[in-house]
Amino acid sequence: MKKIVSFVIIAALLIAMLAACGKSPITDEQSEKLSVVSTIFPSYDFARQIAGELADVTMLLPPGGESHSFEPTLQDIAKIQNCGVFIYGGGESDAWVEKILAAIDTSKVKIVTLMDCVELLEEPEEDAGHGHDHEEEEEHVYDEHVWTSPRNAKLIVEDILKALCEADAENAPAYLDNAREYLAKLDTLDQSFQEIADAGARRTLIFGDRFPFLYFTRAYGLEPFAAFPGCSHETQASPATVKQLIDKINAEKIPVVFHQELSDTKMAETISKATGAQVMLLHACHNISKADFAAGKGYLDFMEDNLQALRTALN
């Protein structure tokens, strides 16, 4: 990973020098539209909902790709250098972004950092409702998946709207109209999640997978137990963790064990076989499949599916 970071820094400096000379290592047709670049899917989708056809919105992470091992190309760095608005998460997974931004001229780029848009939550240090122990961190580690709560999504949309309006004042009224319509849909989504949580027969959720839903579960007063904390890269949960999840399901007669998108479902299936709980997807919207991307599906589509999954899990 250090070699990759060194490469992208050198590449960023190269792009900056060539740009200063009026040259570019990447030659694309120039568009008169505002260029908006997002590293990941949720902010990409929020930006395109606000911009509509008035801006060119692109996503660096390929559909179906793994964000935590993403390696930027020279073309990706050029897109960041040349865009009008750049949006990224800001967590540990984006350390490469910070290196690039420090190496290129961003004086004309409006930058939105998702983790700066909301009140951050610390990842649990030990087995705090996640059914898993891990080494204590010396420094505070904040969960990066801020968009999983629709309430946070609204705050992020507002900050993206501000950046778009500042970068493209001529189209600001249209951006504002689109954002208002989208924010109203997020309000409705938020209310629906709260109603389902309030009406549920239980508040416990089981995840036979990694756990990117801290902001989501905290927003609606739900108690999660998961095989792995956060977006752990561990591939095998401890026997004690698996037993805890199985015992929890059996004791409370929990009907569902969740997995997230684009993940291995073996752990959830193992727990399902031992308990009879139904395996279901709860979509974190971190990334989407190539098929879903081609079909134009967005954050609201996946969250609507999550509504039904949550209703099943809590009743």
| 1-35 residue pLDDT tens | 444 555 555 555 555 544 544 444 333 445 689 99
Q: Is residue 47 part of a domain?
A: yes
Domain shared by 176 and 207, yes or no: no
> Considering the domain boundaries, does residue 134 fall inside one?
no
The confidence band for 124, taking pLDDT boundaries of 50, 70 and 90, is confident
Interatomic CA distance for residues 301 and 15, integer angstroms: 38
User: Structurally, how many domains does the chain consist of?
Assistant: 2
Length of the chain: 315
**Inter-axis angle of helices 41-51 and 299-313, to 10 degrees?**
120
Considering only 82-96, 169-183, 301-315, which range has the smallest mean pLDDT? 82-96
132 lies in some domain? no
Same domain membership, residue 152 and residue 39: yes
In a domain, 188, yes or no: no
CA of 246: how far to CAs of 97, 130, 213, 225, 299, in Å? 40, 13, 20, 11, 31
159 with 205, same domain: the answer is: no
- What pLDDT, on a 0 to 100 scale, did the predictor assign at position 123? 86
How would residue 235 be classed by pLDDT, with cut points 50, 70 and 90? low
Q: What percent of the chain has pLDDT over 90?
A: 76
137 domain residue, yes or no = no
Select from 300, 150, 167 the least CA-distant residue to 218. Answer: 150
Query: Does one domain contain both 303 and 208?
Result: yes
CA atoms within 13 A on the CB side of 78: 13
Q: What is the DSSP letter of 122?
A: B
Domain assignment present for 139 = no
- At residue 119, does pLDDT exceed 60? yes
In which domain, by residue range, is 37 found? 2-127+145-182
Residue 238 CA to residue 277 CA, distance in Å, equals 20
- Does 229 share its domain with 158? no
